[in-house]
Every structure is written in C-alpha cells, then in structure tokens.
Amino acid sequence: MASLELKELRREVAELIIIRASAHGMDSLREYPNWECTNDQLQKFLEEGIGGVILHGGTIEDLERRCSQLNSWSDKKIFLCADVEEGVGQRFQGGTWLTPPMALGLLHKKDPQHAISLAEQYGIAIGKEALLCGLNWVLAPVCDVNTNPLNPVINMRAWSDDAISVSALCSAFYRGLSNAGILGCAKHFPGHGDTNVDSHMQLPVLENDLALLNRRELLPFRALINEQISSIMTAHLYLKNIDSNHPVTFSKKVLTNLLREKLDFKGLIVTDALVMKAITRNYGSKLSAAMAFAAGADLILMPENVSDAIDSIVDLIISGQVPIQRLKDSLLRRSKALKMHIDKPSKHKQSIRLKAKFSIKNCDYHSLSNQLLDLSIEYRNRLEINKSRRLINLIRVDSLHAKLVLNRSSPALTFPENLGFQNVVIHSLGISPWQNNKSEPLALDRFGEGIFLLQLFIRGNPFSGDSALSEPWVNVVKQLQKCNRLAGLVLYGSSYLWNDLVTVLEPSIPSIFSPGQMPLAQEKVMNILFQRTKEQEYCHAKINSEFID
C-alpha cells in the first residue's frame, strides 16, 4: 500500500477512536492523568483525525470552553460525550445533579404514569444542559435490569430491577434526551445487571443463556432500538453459555450475530472503556482494539494506547482479515449519527443560538432535582439531641473519589458538627472499624464512649468494589441498638440495603433513606432529621460560608 493511501487509511481508522480528556484547561488539574490526555496529546490526536473525546471533571464553564477548544482542533465534526447518567452536575460542578434512576423505578411500582413523565423530564434536563455545555452525545441510559441487589457497579444506576419498568423508563428518558437534541447510548449490552463483580476491576462471568436474555435483559435494548437510539455500548463480561471463547466486547456472536443481525440494530456499536481491568488484565492494547473491531464494534472507547489501537485495526484491514467495507460501514454509521444530531429539530437548540456566552449558568433544573428528592426520601421520627452524652457522627463512604458527594462543606458533616457531633469518616483505605465478631462487628472501643448518628453513603459505584455493600451494617444496627448507642440512621444510596436495615430497626429510632447522595439530598435529609426551620437553614448557611484556614 502506498504511503499516501496508508496515511489516509490511518485517518479513517482514527475516526473510530474516542479518547479521554479532562474538562480542566490545565494539564496539572487532570484528576486521572493516566487516562486523560495532555493538551499537546489532545491537539495532536485531533489533528490526526481522532473521532471523539469523552470528558470528565471541572465546572460547567470549564466544559463549555473545553468543547469549543476541542472542536477548533479538529477539521471535522467530532463526538463530545460524557457519562452524565444522573445529570451534568454528577461530573461537572455547577450543573444539575438528579437522583439516581432507580428512584424513578421505585416510583414506577406505585405510580407508573408519573414515573414515566418524570423520566422524560429527566432526559430533557440532561440533554438541554449537556447541549448548552457543548456536548453532543450522552452515554445514557443504563438499560441494565438490576436483578442482583449486591451488584457493585450497576445497582442504583439502573432504572429498575424489573425489565418492563426499565424498558418503559429508559424509553421515556431517551425521548426527552432526543427531544433536547442530544444523541444517546443504551448500555451495557446485553445486560450487566446480574453481575456480582465490577468490570472496572475484573471480568464478570455469567451463566445466562440466550433464552434468559430474551426474557429479561434484552427487553430494554429492544425498546430503545425501536426508539431508534443512535448507539449501544457493550458490556465487558463473559457469557460462557453464548460465547465460550470471548467476552462480549470481542464476541462476533454477540455484537454481530445477535445485536446487528437478530435485533436489527442499525446504529453505532461502541465498546465500553478498554482501559477497564476486565480487559487490560487479560488482553493487550493492540489486541483489544483489533478484536473489538473484528467482532463488530464501530467505535473504540478509551483504548489503553491510542496509536496501538489505530495500528491494530489498520493491520487487520491491510492483511484482509477484516474487509475494508467494514470500515466504510462504521464510518457511514458514524457520519449518520453526527448528522442526526446536527439535523435534529429542537426548540432547545434554537434558543441556545440566541443566548450569550456561558448561558449554561441560566439553565437551572433545580426544581426537578428538588421534586425527585421530595418524592424519593423516606423517613420516620426526628432526632432529639441528648447533649448529656458524647455525640459521634459516623459516616461510611464507598469511594475515596466521592469529593463531589462528601467534602469539608458537605451538609452530612457540617450540620451535625454545628450541633456538637464529632465527625468520624470510614472509607476503604482507612483504619478498619471491624472486629472478629459476627453479631457485634463494630469495634466500639476504637470510637470511645458516646452515641452514634450512623450515616451510610452506599450504593454501588464503579471502582469501589463490593466491600461497602457486603459489610455487616444490619448487624451493626442490631449491635448499637442492643447497647442503646444508636441515635439515628441515615442511608444515602441503595434501596436494597435500606430494605434490609428497616427490618431490624427499632420503630422509635429516627431514620431516613435518600437514593440521592448529592449535597442537596444531604441538606434535605439533615433538615428533616434535625427539624430545622428556614431561619435555622439560613443561619447554617452563614456559619459555613465563613473563611477557615
């Protein structure tokens, strides 16, 4: 092949690669430098034809500036996407952060029509804010049916543990997202809801056969295909009863025979991130990109080494192992998806063109966030503070990377602290609070005397593993009640754990459940728990705005 032809082939293959970047403009502010390209790398890759960027971190203004910059570095239309399943504010400070989708799944069991209406508003909110920030592709909805209550990575990210509910809510969400003018992505095909390990950490193995998938896992994906969703993301898992030789992302039986042919999906098939340990622990950078493309993937998300990924696909085509028509088909699907975004009529797009720079500041879905929290928070009793005893605010977070959830100014810390509680935070890398006693697992001697307000931030999150979900919190509640040291219980996160806790909780103990973990959820919970008035809320805000150094 002549050098000019080879160069053009590499540029075409590069269009299939999606790389990771921080929304922060300075390289030194990158939160995940091992995955996020430097500015020099970004500019180089985009000038060489890279097809898109997935963004994370920073503020909404950072994101808007970054998207504009990335577009200026490319001579073609590129994908600009983010994992904002629960709102732009989940990843970028200043955006709206909504309750996890499972909250609407719980509502769907009681009031299906109301839940479906809210799911569509949920999609509109995310789509409109994403568009204002410069994104054109949202990697949502999660279409997994969360049939395993201890699922460490899907859990509350799913819309329900019932396939019919997931189908209805995902479809409504996507209609809202699409009406806002944004591309969506159904994930994680053919279903990640029954796993007991996190694919960010290792490769899950499932016994599920095609008959079970057809009855359950595939229902939401069929619904989204009928809604003409533009892309579907693969799951990094091993279905040994369907393909005994390859994980899903590298399986032609799953991606081509099942998804492309049997389900007649005509949109883009995109891999989940190839830097996840389910892949990197078992496959090299070159091999993983080549195998995914050969299996039927159109877009390669976050390959471990960008140049290796491009080289491996070029080699497949030059050697004749994969016909060049496969590349042409993927490029055509890519251009159709981007054209769909550009051409899609949207009143939101029309209004955006009339807005001034940084108009995202004026896009506020705070009322929707409030409404969803008010519908989903459950509680019984209020906390009467006994100041004759030492007060301990014991908090468990399931991730050290949860700074948007819990930091020095978070209401879960500041409210109790202002009332005389001593804050103690447990996390996976800290000193263990446990002792070798199943019925009394908490080592109380490590905390000293006092009564506990127990606040648990546990829901299952990527990279967190299953430690928090599998910890003996039910027995901790029994233990603290037995010695009269449980003042109150708050759970932010898993509805499954909440159901287990309330079965052993004494009716007189103040307790609150919120599916949402964000600061707004914490503020609402603290106001309920401590019976705070509007005037007290204002005083609290003044106290916590003081400069401390």
Q: What is the pLDDT of residues 512-524, one digit of tens each?
A: 999 999 999 999 9
Counting beta carbons within 10 angstroms of the beta carbon of residue 113, is it exposed (0 to 12), middle (13 to 18) or buried (19 or more)? Answer: exposed
Helix axis angle for 163-179 and 102-110, nearest 10°, is: 120
The pair of structure tokens assigned to 74 is 């490319």
The pLDDT score that the predictor gives to residue 358 is: 41
What pLDDT is stored for residue 541 in this prediction? 46
CA triple 183-187-192, angle to 5 deg:
170
Asked if residue 342 lies in contact with residue 58, where contact means CB atoms within 8 angstroms, the answer is: no
Report pLDDT for 351: 45
- What letter does residue 299 receive in the DSSP assignment? B
Residue-level pLDDT at 488: 97
Task: Please report the sign of the dihedral spanned by the C-alpha atoms of residue 531, residue 535, residue 538, residue 543.
Answer: negative
Question: So what's the pLDDT on residue 549?
Answer: 46
Would you give the distance in Å from CA 308 to the centre of its chain?
28
What phi, psi does 418 have (nearest 5°)? -65, -15
Cβ atoms of residues 453 and 383 within 8 Å: yes
Cβ(27)–Cβ(21) below 8 Å: no
Residue 539 pLDDT? 47
Could you tell me what percentage of the chain is helix, strand and coil, using 3-state DSSP and rounding each to the nearest 5?
45, 15, 40
* The predicted structure's pLDDT at residue 547: 44
pLDDT tens for each residue of 325-338: 999 999 999 999 99
Residue 284: its pLDDT value, please?
87
DSSP calls for 77-128: --EEEE--TT-GGGTSBTS--PPPTHHHHHHHHH-HHHHHHHHHHHHHHHHH
| pLDDT digits 0-9 by tens, 397-427 | 976 666 789 988 999 999 999 999 999 999 8
Q: Identify the pLDDT of residue 427.
A: 87
User: In whole angstroms, what is the distance from residue 412 CA to residue 324 CA?
Assistant: 56
Count the Cβ atoms, other than its own, within 10 Å of residue 531.
Answer: 10
Kindly report the backbone phi and psi dihedral angles of residue 79, in degrees, each rounded to the nearest multiple of 5, phi listed first.
Answer: -80, 130
User: What is the C-alpha to C-alpha distance for residues 128 and 142, in angstroms, rounded to an integer?
Assistant: 19
Q: What tokens does 389 get?
A: 């005893």
CB atoms within 10 A of CB 385: 16
Own/partner contacts of 353-358, CB < 8 Å, gap of 24 or more, are: 355/132, 358/61, 358/64
Helix (H, G, I), strand (E, B) or coil at 399: coil
Residue ranges, the chain, pLDDT below 70: 1, 4, 343-364, 399-402, 463-467, 532-549
All domains in the chain, ordered by first residue = 83-363 (3.20.20.300), 377-543 (3.40.50.10870)
In this predicted structure, what is the pLDDT of residue 355? 44
pTM for this model (two decimals) = 0.93
Q: Using CA atoms, how far apart are residues 264 and 249, in angstroms rounded to an integer?
A: 18
CA 472 to CA 438: how far, in whole Å?
8
